[in-house]
Amino acid sequence: MSQKSRYQVKSEKIVIENLNLSYEKFILIDNFEQIYLEIIPALGSNIFGFYKIIEGRQINFIYVPSDLETILTQKIRYYGNPILFPFPNRIPNGNFIFEGKSYHFRPNFRNGTAIHGLVNDKPWQVEESRQPNHEAAILTTYLRSQEHSKILPQFPFPFEIKIKFQLKDKNIRLSTSIKNLGGSNMPMGFGIHPYFVAGINSNERDGCILKIPAREYWELQNCLPTGVKMQVSGNHDLQEGKKLKNIYLDDIFTDLIPAADGWTYYELTNTIQNYKLTVSADQNFNHVVIYAPKDNNFVCIEPYTCITNAINIAPEQIIRLAPNDSIKLDIKIYIEI
């Protein structure tokens, strides 16, 4: 009898009869650790499951409803791990100027703001799914803007974005590559918006400790930076870790303190379910948004390459890709349990 491989990639069809829809879901599996990562490429390459099975009990790390129909009748960007590109967070009225020309993103938020980019609700394609040499489970997905009629009219810079999801040793790695396929410079920013479980009730949220190595945060008005940075203090000072009890945040932290390897590490510890989740981002990510809203049992740890509305108020933070140039960005999520 052959021994079961540690890593597997499976796919299954999900049918939503009430909406007359179906999707292919890919499941990356670590059979040794009983850790599962579920991705639906056709729904923005979003993560719709990240969990571990312990003695028949499922411990969820990503905040997502149990049924896909609930998500589809709301907004995909409110669950899982939305991909934020070609800009993270908000641009007021969707207007910006780049190299002397004016552009407009269609507002998609209630106050007339364009929010979270153009790719988190678009169908992505699968390039490969494999478990090479039984060392990891891998799924690579991509999106080319020319193939989407709703992207180029708003952002006339042809691009390809590709993400390799890798599950290995209790570690998820999101390796993103972005290439400018056009004939002119392309402006861009990138981020992810993972919703992490912070308890299934308020008492469990009180047992969650958040640690963010940041010395400053941006002053905001209506969720938009004013251009003023402030020293962390009180509930904004999370350098040594604080319990989430009575702490509600929607802030952009900066002046980050990297580790010796140049990466920045953010920690969420659940003292009730006895696990620690660490998000780490490479040197391209100089900011992190922490979203821990009141009356919700989740916290978002969102590494960004630039601040909200950077293209209008901090253009020096915008990445400019020349024709045929590309950039690689890495983020990891690690579970200790």
The answer as to whether 204 is a domain residue is yes
- Cβ neighbors of 81 (< 8 A, separation 6 or more) are 46, 47, 62, 192, 193, 194, 195
Could you tell me the residue range of the domain that residue 53 belongs to? Answer: 7-336
Tokens of 256: 């980050």
Mark 197-223 as b/e (b = at least 16 C-beta within 10 Å).
bbbeeeebbbbbbbbbbbeebbeeeeb
Residue 32 lies in a domain: yes
Q: Which residues contact 290 (CB under 8 A, 6 or more apart)?
A: 210, 212, 238, 249, 250, 251, 253, 299, 300, 301, 302
pLDDT given at position 71: 78
**Residue 62 within a domain:** yes
What CATH number corresponds to the domain at position 55? 2.70.98.10
Rounded mean pLDDT, 213-223: 97
What pLDDT, on the 0 to 100 scale, is given for residue 129? 80
SS3 for 203?
Answer: helix
Q: Tell me, rounded to whole angstroms, the distance of Cα 161 from its chain centroid.
A: 14
Is residue 2 situated within a structural domain?
Answer: no
pLDDT digits (tens, 9 = 90+) for 221-272: 999 999 999 999 999 999 999 999 889 999 999 999 999 999 999 999 999 8
Residue 167 in any domain: the answer is yes
Q: What's the whole-model pTM score?
A: 0.95
The answer as to whether 201 is a domain residue is: yes
The count of domains in the chain is 1
Band of residue 165 on the pLDDT scale cut at 50, 70, 90: very high
Structure tokens at 235: 């509930």
Measure the CA–CA gap between 80 and 262, rounded to whole angstroms.
Answer: 27
Does 249 reside within a domain?
Answer: yes
Query: Is residue 179 predicted with pLDDT exceeding 70?
Result: yes
d(CA 185, CA 176): 19
Q: What's the CA gap between 128 and 114, in Å, rounded?
A: 32
1 lies in a domain? no
